[in-house]
Copies of this chain bind each other. A is one copy, B any other.
Amino acid sequence: MSSRIRQDAIVRSLRRNGTTTINALADEVGTSRRTILRDLSALRGEGYVIHSDVGRGGGLQLDPRSMQTTAKLSVPEVFALLISVAAMRAAGNLPFSELADAGLAKIEKSLPPEKIKNLRAFLECLHIGQLSPLQDLSNMGQMDRDLLPTFEAAFLQRVFLRFAYRDGKGRETTREVEPQAMLILPPLWYLVGWDPAREDFRHFRMDRISAPEVVPDKSFRRRHVPFEDDVCPYSELQVGVGIN
């Protein structure tokens, strides 16, 4: 964990708990007492006013006047928010989605103009269907790190995607398809690929896909082109969030 993230966690904890101790912070953040002390020193150096009472019953307190935060969202995070709200809306017109949309529209607008078109195009690859009963998704969490970047690379480069697929009967096969879209049928996600051998679309449950990789030389014949300008919309930017 980077010191920056840890210090953020410390500030958050101080804000939340009002009063706390070094040992409690060390436990919470998962680091040593010594490191917490160093971080406190660094935070004080950055202008955070942290009162401390020594002695039994003592502890730390963050002076609420010392604020000055400008958090930064990475674009993957903004992206995740966009997807979440899009899925929300599809999942049955939940209340406040109008407000959430408006908020995201503003965040989106604050991205550099040339990125917005691409981001929208990428979102168009998401087709969100109706709700279905809850199912087990224990390994779905792995997608964040592995699958998405590779999928995106394949969309971007307009080349084939190769991956291992375990079908409903547990058989493992290797597939090569032209990725066309991502389909969300909550709580399951599917990759929609064009299989040129079968001349047809195939759906792959994302939790059954592993080891995805792009096949550099095989480019799409049937192409749903997500990006203009061959620019990847997410993974280059950060969005700052602060109080005005």
Binding site for B on A (CB under 8 A): 8, 11-12, 15-16, 44-47, 49, 62, 64-67, 69-74, 76-81, 83-85, 87-88, 91-100, 102-107, 109-114, 116-117, 120, 130-131, 133-135, 137-138, 140-141, 143-144, 147-148, 184, 186-187, 189, 206, 235-244
Contact = CB atoms under 8 A, between A and B. Distances in A.
A100 to B, nearest CB: 4
A69 to B, nearest CB: 5
A191 to B, nearest CB: 11
A96 B137 contact: no
A67 B112 contact: yes
B83 A237 contact: no
Nearest to A244: B240
Contact of A131 (B15, B16, B104, B187): B187
Nearest to A101: B80
Contacts of A138: 93
Contact of A96 (B62, B69, B80, B130): B80
Contacts of A116: 15-16
B235 A243 contact: no
A120 B15 CA distance: 12
B133 A235 contact: no
Copies in the complex: 2
Given A47-B237, A94-B186, A244 B70 contact: yes
Contacts of A113: 15, 62, 64-65, 67
Nearest to A188: B92
Contacts of A87: 88, 94
A49 B96 contact: no
Given A65-B113, A242-B239, A144 B70 contact: no
A97 B148 CA distance: 12
A44 B92 contact: no
Contacts of A98: 80, 141, 144
List of 5 A-B pairs having minimum Cβ-Cβ separation, nearest first: A92-B187, A77-B103, A80-B99, A71-B106, A240-B244
A241 B106 contact: yes
Contacts of A239: 47, 241-244
Given A77-B100, A77-B102, A85-B84, A206 B114 contact: no
Given A44-B236, A81-B100, A91-B131, 9 more contacts: A47-B239, A80-B96, A80-B98, A84-B84, A84-B96, A96-B148, A110-B243, A131-B187, A239-B241
